[in-house]
Amino acid sequence: MMNSGDLMNSCRNCGASTLRELGFIGNLAPFFLKRVYRIELATRISSHPFKRFIQKLTAPIQSLVSRIQPAIAAIEMQSCLNCSFVQSKFPFPEEGLARLYADYRSDSYNKERCHYEPYYAAIANQIGQHTERGLDRITALTKWLESRVNLSEASMLDYGGANGQFLPNVPGEKYVFEISDIEPYAGVIRIADASQLQTYSYIQLSHVLEHVNEPLIMVRQVAAFLAKDGYLLIEVPQDSSSDFLKRLQTGDLNCDVGVHEHINNYCELSVQKLIEAAGLQLISIEAVPVENPSAKQNFIRALAKNWQ
Ligand SMILES: [Zn+2]
């Protein structure tokens, strides 16, 4: 089946066909390589005695060289001239991404990730626990929304939101669309099958779009479940600065882009263009700083309205 990615000529975030080829600058993290492609980078001991002797002799030098000049698994990337979105030239295999996220953030995920990326152990427990402006995540989101729109008695859906615990703290019906069988948070009803989805006056896509091959297709699908004048909240991490993404886009910079658990790199411009391309009206957008030292990246929060 063809999708927009197979055509290789359009941005999977905004639909524009103006892309700059960046070459093999996508640097696949070892854990990503293992989970998505079932591949590990390896060196082998030679079966030839003399070669084996040389290998043994030069091992310390090889180890030093590989630290200074590591071998990486590299893929071709593209930058969108319309929205600064950086994407892999070829979409990742869907079944591979499903394997990557199958047990996301559970013990088995953390254990395997730490095997490939030992530094992850230090931050695994703190991920998702950030505060902003001295407030916990739910209080901060609730305040931010209340200063912009009236959500009282809304029907709210957290799309792909695990147990739904990060929905805003306002009265109303609360649902989470989640295919894994995680226990929903108190007061939240889990919908496990897309055919059961209704229309909602508020939907959030919180830290979801950085994980999907086709963000524009997903936002269009989700927007179809918005009531007229309903709101869509998008939150995505900002792993690279807007300046960095802009310099990739203009060809001013030629350096690696890491591909790990986040396959998409967002900035305010790309979120804004995504919302517009999905036919929604942008109400508010902001880069939000987070405070705990373990969460290195800030994130972008945007609110859009279904005005049609
Ligand atoms: Zn684009």
Q: Which value, to the nearest 10 degrees, does the dihedral of the CA atoms of residues 151, 157, 162, 167 take? A: 0
Whole-number Å distance, alpha carbon 87 to ligand 1 midpoint, is 9
CA atoms within a 13 Å half-sphere pointing along the CA-CB vector of 29: 20
**β-sheet with 200-206: strand ranges across:** 189-191, 172-177, 154-159, 200-206, 226-238, 298-305, 281-288
Please tell me the predicted confidence (pLDDT) of residue 293: 59
With both helix axes pointing from N to C terminus, report the angle between 107-116 and 30-37 in degrees, rounded to the nearest 10: 120
Q: Are 21 and 31 in contact (CB under 8 A)?
A: no
Whole-number Å distance, alpha carbon 115 to ligand 1 midpoint, is 35
Tell which residue, 231, 155, 232, 166, has the closest CA to residue 197: 155
Whole-number Å distance, alpha carbon 12 to ligand 1 midpoint, is 7
Whole-number Å distance, alpha carbon 265 to ligand 1 midpoint, is 12
Whole-number Å distance, alpha carbon 114 to ligand 1 midpoint, is 33
Beta bridge partners of 206: 235
Please tell me the predicted confidence (pLDDT) of residue 286: 95
Classify residue 269 by its DSSP letter: H
Which amino acid belongs to residue 175? Y
Please tell me the predicted confidence (pLDDT) of residue 283: 97
239: phi > 0 → left, psi -120 to 50 → alpha, else beta; which? alpha
Tell which residue, 160, 193, 153, has the closest CA to residue 174: 153
Please tell me the predicted confidence (pLDDT) of residue 1: 45
Task: List, in order of start, the domains of the chain with CATH numbers.
Answer: 4-125 (no CATH), 133-241+264-305 (3.40.50.150)
> How far is the C-alpha of 160 from the C-alpha of 95, rounded, in Å?
17
Whole-number Å distance, alpha carbon 66 to ligand 1 midpoint, is 36
Whole-number Å distance, alpha carbon 84 to ligand 1 midpoint, is 6
Whole-number Å distance, alpha carbon 104 to ligand 1 midpoint, is 28
Q: What is the pLDDT along the chain (308 residues), one digit of tens a residue?
A: 445 444 558 999 999 999 999 999 999 999 999 999 999 988 888 899 999 999 999 999 988 988 888 888 999 999 999 999 999 999 999 999 999 888 877 888 888 888 888 888 777 766 666 788 788 889 999 999 999 999 988 999 999 888 888 999 999 999 999 887 788 888 999 999 999 999 999 999 999 999 999 999 999 999 999 999 999 999 999 988 899 999 999 988 888 999 988 999 999 999 999 999 999 999 999 999 887 655 566 899 999 999 97
Tell which residue, 296, 273, 302, has the closest CA to residue 18: 273
Whole-number Å distance, alpha carbon 152 to ligand 1 midpoint, is 34
Q: Are 10 and 98 in contact (CB under 8 A)?
A: no
Contacts of 212 (CB under 8 A, 6+ apart): 97, 218, 263, 264
Whole-number Å distance, alpha carbon 269 to ligand 1 midpoint, is 9
Whole-number Å distance, alpha carbon 245 to ligand 1 midpoint, is 12
Please tell me the predicted confidence (pLDDT) of residue 233: 98
Whole-number Å distance, alpha carbon 231 to ligand 1 midpoint, is 22
Q: Are 78 and 19 in contact (CB under 8 A)?
A: yes
Q: Are 301 and 234 in contact (CB under 8 A)?
A: yes
